[in-house]
Amino acid sequence: INTPQLCYVYNYALNKRENASTELIDLLEKLIAVQENFVFIDYLKFALGNIYYYKGELGNALNLLEDVYFSSSRTNPDFANFLGGWMIQLGEYEKAASYFNIAYKRGKEDAILNEAIALSEFKNKDEAIEKWKRVAEQENAEWGNIANDMLRFLVKDSLTISELILPEKSDFLRYRFLHYNQNISEKDFEAVYQSISTEEIRVVIAVERVKWGIEMKNELIAGKYMKLLATVKMNDEVLPLFQEAYLKYIVFQGKLDKDFFEKVQETNFNRFNKSEQYYFSALYHAAFLQEEQAVSAFEKAVALNPTKEDYFLEWAAYYQEIEKPEKAYEVLLEGVTRNEDSSELTRAYIIQALNLRYTSFAESMLEELAKIESETRYQEFLKVYNQKLAEVEKVFEDWEN
């Protein structure tokens, strides 16, 4: 392929990325495989990665874009910024913030705005507040207005409940407040929620509340808003949000019966959450110890979206349940390889490595955990690690004797 041909294929592929043909995908894969095209390889991978992303094959897409990112110049901010945008769409806010931070340090000034937006989705808002204050200090009036607007929702007591429920306040303002303040008291949350009259907004924030309740393992909160959702008439735009939340709630309750499986098959998953269908199916098959079906579904879920920690953790837990610890270890190894910044996966890998007496691997990964975990949480885990290590060494010592 020569330069004019590359320009044609590259632009054509990006223009057709949302409905690319099989022939176009095959062409790009063949061009990438030709060694003589190495000069154009990043452009070809970028184009193909975009096509896979819009097809919902997120694993393939991320593999290609990460290749491009790592092979690009250390001073090039564009691919880091691009990957940050993908991570935002996928709800992977820690990864997004990291990519945007890299893009900013490499010279993309407006990446600081994107980083602040990603940080605003963290449970702990302290980093986001500090970042938005930095944005406000920039010599850019528009950025300052955006930052001050966001700080209203993040800084405690900047907006009061009595102010938010006034009739003249907009439902979108109320939504934004609740979105960024899930940790307020249920009394205050409900007061603002009940003041929202727009049905679509009520559905969206109730779905978020259900997910938050599940994440916090709070059955009362999750159940309450799931019941509220059941009374709302939904349009086609918000219905999939409810369906996904409902399935997560059923998993949370542990009711993985045939009715659940049928609901999984009936639910409309979009290209970004198609992996959830396989994940829910895997949980169902795992619950009934249907190993072949469970493993196949886990494999498909991970292939479609390898950024989801739960997929690896639940898959490993299943292997552990059916007494295949080596398989559990392999799954967790793949998980930490694909998600190097995941402290939860790293902790699980370390414990599993110790279970199998792979003490040198566990020790090596412990060093990596120290780089990504807060000092407080690292010290807490270190106690667990040392206790587990002592148990393993004692068993090994007894075995030798």
Q: What is the mean pLDDT of residues 115-128?
A: 96
Q: What is the mean pLDDT of residues 222-227?
A: 96
Q: What's the CA gap between 70 and 76, in Å, rounded?
A: 10
Q: What is the mean pLDDT of residues 131-143?
A: 94
Which of 167-176, 294-303, 385-394 bottoms out in mean pLDDT, i.e. has the lowest? 385-394
The helix-helix angle for 78-89 and 93-105 (nearest 10°) equals 160
pLDDT value at residue 171: 97
Q: pLDDT tier at 395 (50, 70, 90 boundaries)?
A: confident
The model's pTM is: 0.89
The helix-helix angle for 239-253 and 274-287 (nearest 10°) equals 20
Q: What is the mean pLDDT of residues 383-399?
A: 86
Q: Is the dihedral of CA 208, 211, 215, 220 positive or negative?
A: positive
Given a contact cutoff of 8 angstroms between Cβ atoms, the answer to whether 354 and 388 are in contact is yes
Q: What is the mean pLDDT of residues 302-314?
A: 96
Three-state secondary structure string covering the chain: CCHHHHHHHHHHHHHCCCCCCHHHHHHHHHHHHCHHHHHHHHHHHHHHHHHHHHHCCHHHHHHHHHHHHHHCCCCCCHHHHHHHHHHHHCCCHHHHHHHHHHHHHCCCCCHHHHHHHHHCCCCCCHHHHHHHHHHHHCCCHHHHHHHHHHHHHHCCCCCCHHHHCCCCCCHHHHHHHHHHCCCCCHHHHHHHHHCCCCHHHHHHHHHHHHHHHHHCCCHHHHHHHHHHHHCCCCCCCCHHHHHHHHHHHHHHHCCCCHHHHHHHHHCCCCCCCHHHHHHHHHHHHHHCCCHHHHHHHHHHHHHHCCCCHHHHHHHHHHHHHCCCHHHHHHHHHHHHHHCCCCHHHHHHHHHHHHHCCCHHHHHHHHHHHHHHCCHHHHHHHHHHHHHHHHHHHHHHHHHHC
pLDDT score of 174 more than 90: yes
pLDDT score of 400 more than 70: no
pLDDT value at residue 75: 87
Q: In percent, how much of the chain has pLDDT > 90? A: 89
Residue 185, φ and ψ in degrees, nearest 5: -60, 150
Q: pLDDT tier at 401 (50, 70, 90 boundaries)?
A: low
pLDDT tens digits, 317-326: 999 999 999 9
Element (H, E) at 17: none
Residue 107: left if φ>0, alpha if ψ -120 to 50, beta else—which one?
left
pLDDT score of 397 more than 80: no
- Among candidate residues 19, 88, 14, the one with its CA nearest the CA of residue 44: 14
pLDDT score of 268 more than 80: yes
Q: pLDDT tier at 374 (50, 70, 90 boundaries)?
A: confident
pLDDT score of 245 more than 90: yes
pLDDT score of 398 more than 70: no
